[in-house]
């Protein structure tokens, strides 16, 4: 989807008073290559082709500044849009650019999100196992609070592409005070608004922080182990076999395994238990979002 061309159709009539104040308009025709483009996408693409932006001076008449941009689809076609650019000598000065909602500062809010979380290892990194070296069933749960950082920013374009790219990802590098992998993009939402002649989107970004990181780290445990000897102690090609208890019966609860897939002796637990890490969330460069983190 893109803007193909921009052409000025005519200079609209202006009006003036005895003190030299007045208003003027230019009308432009914008051609696009996709009829599904929104007004915001059309205007953003037209800026790249030279469409005057808010507060820009009128060529040849610098006392006139752009104070409005209006857009509508041209009658009889879905690939052409008419954009009316209004100029006025009464346009607010540069220091009053906050009248343009796109120039408003980003609003940041810090709260917290509370919930229950399964505890697989304690604050010292020790696996949570009972005296038999087995994970608790039901598992131990603790209450956790996660800092919640929210950004609200006015943007010209719909953030659908960013929503699909960044939601359910974690930071690939240090961001907003959090080390890589500790900040999770929870949601990107938006609401369309119109103010002061500008059609824009009020976009809300929500992030959660967890100092332990977000990638899943389950306890390495199971009902089967990797065996490298047969029943008589002779070396064999590694194979997987059900673990049995002291009576030779198959175990009914999973037991911790070491890095080679063998059952860890009970005497070494819980200190010898290990946790595996899996890439459950993609990593993204959150700096690319341009937020004042």
- How far is Cα 3 from Cα 158, in angstroms, rounded to an integer? 16
Closest C-alpha among 41, 111, 91, 69 to residue 198? 69
Dihedral angle sign, alpha carbons of residues 106, 110, 116, 118: positive
List per-residue pLDDT tens for the chain, 293 residues long. Answer: 889 999 998 666 677 665 667 888 899 999 999 888 888 889 988 998 999 988 888 887 888 888 888 898 987 678 999 999 888 887 554 444 457 888 889 999 999 998 888 888 888 888 989 888 888 888 899 988 999 999 999 999 889 999 999 999 999 999 999 999 999 999 999 999 988 778 899 999 999 999 999 999 999 999 999 887 766 667 778 888 899 888 889 988 899 999 989 999 989 999 999 999 999 999 999 999 999 98
The H or E element that residue 227 is part of is: strand 224-229
CB 53 within 8 A of CB 68: no
Q: Could you give all domains of the chain from N- to C-terminal order, each with its CATH number? A: 3-89 (3.30.200), 107-212 (no CATH)
**Residue 174 dihedral angles phi and psi, to the nearest 5°:** -55, 130
- Within the chain, how many helices (H) and strands (E) appear? 2, 15
- How far is Cα 250 from Cα 5, in angstroms, rounded to an integer? 74
- How far is Cα 132 from Cα 265, in angstroms, rounded to an integer? 10
CB 231 within 8 A of CB 120: no
The H or E element that residue 164 is part of is: helix 160-166
In terms of pTM, does the model score above 0.85? no
Residue 240 CB coordination number (10 Å)? 10
């Amino acid at each position: 989807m893109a803007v193909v061309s921009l052409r000025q159709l005519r200079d609209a009539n202006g009006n003036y008073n005895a003190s030299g104040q007045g208003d003027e308009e230019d009308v432009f025709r914008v051609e696009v290559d996709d009829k599904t483009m929104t007004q915001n996408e059309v205007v953003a693409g037209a800026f790249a082709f030279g469409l005057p932006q808010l507060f820009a001076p009128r060529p040849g008449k610098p006392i006139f500044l752009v104070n409005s941009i209006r857009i509508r689809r041209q009658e009889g076609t879905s690939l052409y849009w008419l954009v009316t650019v209004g100029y006025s000598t009464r346009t607010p000065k540069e220091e009053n650019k906050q009248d343009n909602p796109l120039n408003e500062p980003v609003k940041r809010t810090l709260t917290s999100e509370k919930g229950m979380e399964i505890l697989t290892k304690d604050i010292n990194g020790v696996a949570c196992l009972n005296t038999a070296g087995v994970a608790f069933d039901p598992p131990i749960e603790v209450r956790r609070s996660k800092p919640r950082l929210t950004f609200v920013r006015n943007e010209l374009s719909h953030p659908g592409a960013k929503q699909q790219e960044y939601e359910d990802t974690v930071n690939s590098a240090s961001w907003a005070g959090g080390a890589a992998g500790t900040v999770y993009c929870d949601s990107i939402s938006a609401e369309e608004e119109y103010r002061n002649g500008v059609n824009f989107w009020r976009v809300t970004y929500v992030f959660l922080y967890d100092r332990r990181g977000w990638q899943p780290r389950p306890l390495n445990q199971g009902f089967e182990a990797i065996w490298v000897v047969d029943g008589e102690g002779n070396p064999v090609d590694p194979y997987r076999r059900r673990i049995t208890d002291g009576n030779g019966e198959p175990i009914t609860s999973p037991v911790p395994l070491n890095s080679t897939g063998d059952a860890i002796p009970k005497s070494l637990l819980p200190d010898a238990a290990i946790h595996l890490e899996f890439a459950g969330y993609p990593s993204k460069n959150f700096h690319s979002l341009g937020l004042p983190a």
